Structure 1
Amino acid sequence: MQYSPESLDAFLQAVETGSFSAAARKLKKSQSTISTAIANLEADLGIALFDRQSRQPVLTPQGQRVLPYVQSIIAASERLDEVSVRLAGNIEPRLSFVLSDLWQTSHHESILKRFSERFPDIEFECLIAEDEDVIDLIQTGRAHVGVLRVQERYPVDVTVARLQVGAQMAIYIHKQHELASLQWVEMEKLHTFRQLCLKTYKDPTRNMGGGPVWSSPSLLMLLEMAEQGFGWGILPRWLVEQFGHGVLQELPVAGWPQHIDVDVMWSNKEPPGAAGRWIIDRLREQQA
């Protein structure tokens, strides 16, 4: 039996967003179209996928069993799209690449040099963003390929792959701050001082602790705040070593420094062309 790709997409988006109306907005379709698509899939399968008696649709036990199979079908379709793009060799006229400041510059500089030689005529744009902002740029089509720290969960309309090269994050403060003279710093004491906290545009509510906070969506801006002595912050080691001007000190805190895994991401609804695939492949080939 063949199943409509539109019905499978509608089902996955309804699960991801938690409602038919939210799935409709995500797919830019009417709610009735989404409801019909899911009803057609239920008719084809001969089972009810959602319990519609509650305010929001809830997966039935049968729906929960079906979900991983639908995810596998969609994933296989995405892999087929990737193969076709690589075989066809269609080069997009423009490529936008967004990456996080936590990832060391040297990791992508060599790739961009080779990219400029291989695709000399393409229009290229490089953006800087973090976490949810990277995801948003990919989902909205503003960027085609993104590099970001590993997230707990991803939307169903993006594809991610783990990179072999990660990042080291540590807690830093100005050398003249009173905490800089301590041999050990408890997290409870740390939170009595101002934290320089990363807050993305898409998730401005995040906060590591309960103390006073200054925030920015840019790790580089947080670094500059720390250099001015405005507080402590969690920063990439490479960023401090390369741009910290020697005025910051890494604090000895339990559990720190931390290794951060990094993913490369792209849209599976509007996947990148040959140039974007080339960058993705080179990123995945890199070793620490």
Structure 2
Amino acid sequence: MLDALTLDQMRTFVTVAESGSFRAGAARLSRVQSAVSHAIANLESELGVALFDRSGHRPVLTPEGQALLANARDILLRVDAMRARARGLGEGIELELSLIVDTLFPIETIGLALNEMRTIYPTVSIRLAVSPLGGPLDGLVERRFTLGIMVGEDFRDPAIARQALATVQLVAVVAAHHPLGLARDGALENAELADHLQIVQSDPSQRTVGRDFGVLSPQTCRVSSQDTKHAMIRAGLGWGRLPLWQVQRDLDEGRLVRMPTAALGRNSQVGAECYLTHRIDEPLGPAARVFGEALARLCAAG
């Protein structure tokens, strides 16, 4: 009967599938291999299907096992979220609020929300980091931070909950004295953009190895921080995308100009959605909840 299924059986199934063998799965679960094999056999008997093909050197998921693996993961995620919520209901105020923010998000808004949180919970310490691209997701997955601010749709994980906050505008800019800046009357094509150095943000995580986002030129200068990228573009070294909140004053005062091309968005501008994120299996304390509510309110106010 399906009612006889246990969470332990499903967790064992998922662990073996992710580990690649019964031996490796047993090691991760701190059990003997025979107990893991027995649990999988019982699960297969309850479900009435074979989850693994054991004919080779290593067990391989059957088509049925591959299909049911997604269901097992979903059930375990929901159970972990329920346990986290239950723990959170009985816990007091956090000693520390740890937060990792995408470099594209306006950091002053974070400060305003943290200030609101501190007026209510003045004893809560704050640990704040700023990181680009896959950095915020790594910080949450590795449990180094409680909350994250992520920008864009490129980094997702089923264990990470997301709440949309606002849209950040990204503008392709170049120094006014750069050759591309002086060509502001024309509409440049991709081939012409490729003739000039593009300033590109490096990813501190390993999530974008072999991938590039928005890189159009074979000539690149890769930098480790957004402030460095901003400074190199202002110096006339090359062109690149930066958040509008960071370059608005430069545009207003003529130090930077929008790239004269329609290949990088209308008026050289595109929007990226920003999300407040956290692990679904970690309860949010009262300070984290107050911070999230304050941040959402500030973003909604514009």
In the alignment, what sits opposite 1:264? 276
Which deviates further from its counterpart, 44-53 or 147-156? 44-53
**1:78-126 CA distance string (max 9 Å, x none):** 4424532453242221221010121123432331111111221112111
Taking the aligned partners of 1:264 and 1:56, their CA distance within structure 2 comes to 41
| 2:202–2:224 Cα contact (<8 Å) kept | yes
| 2:99–2:147 Cα contact (<8 Å) kept | yes
3-state DSSP class of the match of 1:141? coil
3-state DSSP class of the match of 1:102? coil
Which deviates further from its counterpart, 41-50 or 248-257? 41-50
Query: For 2:227, which of 220, 230, 242 is the aligned residue?
Result: 220
Runs of 5+ consecutive residues of structure 1 not aligned to the other structure: none
Matched residue type, 2:194: H
3-state DSSP class of the match of 1:170? strand
**Offset at residue 231 of structure 1 (A):** 0.9
Query: Identical aligned pairs, as a percentage?
Result: 22
Q: How many residues align?
A: 284
Matched residue type, 1:69: N
Taking the aligned partners of 1:3 and 1:30, their CA distance within structure 2 comes to 21
| 2:165–2:276 Cα contact (<8 Å) kept | no
In the alignment, what sits opposite 2:287? 275
* 2:239 is equivalent to residue 232 of structure 1: yes
Taking the aligned partners of 1:38 and 1:242, their CA distance within structure 2 comes to 62
**1:219-276 CA distance string (max 9 Å, x none):** 2221111112221111111111257775221113324211111222222444443323
* 2:260 is equivalent to residue 248 of structure 1: no
Task: Tell me how large the CA RMSD over aligned residues is.
Answer: 3.5
In the alignment, what sits opposite 2:49? 47
Instruction: Normalising by structure 2, report the TM-score.
Output: 0.77
Which deviates further from its counterpart, 264-273 or 113-122? 264-273
Taking the aligned partners of 2:155 and 2:52, their CA distance within structure 1 comes to 22
| 2:87–2:283 Cα contact (<8 Å) kept | no
Q: Judging changes above 3 Å, is the alpha-carbon distance between structure 1 residues 146 and 11 closer, same or farther for their aligned structure 2 residues?
A: farther
In the alignment, what sits opposite 2:112? 110
Taking the aligned partners of 2:147 and 2:167, their CA distance within structure 1 comes to 17
| 1:100–1:148 Cα contact (<8 Å) kept | yes
**Offset at residue 175 of structure 1 (A):** 0.9
In the alignment, what sits opposite 2:78? 76
In the alignment, what sits opposite 1:162? 163
| 2:137–2:155 Cα contact (<8 Å) kept | no
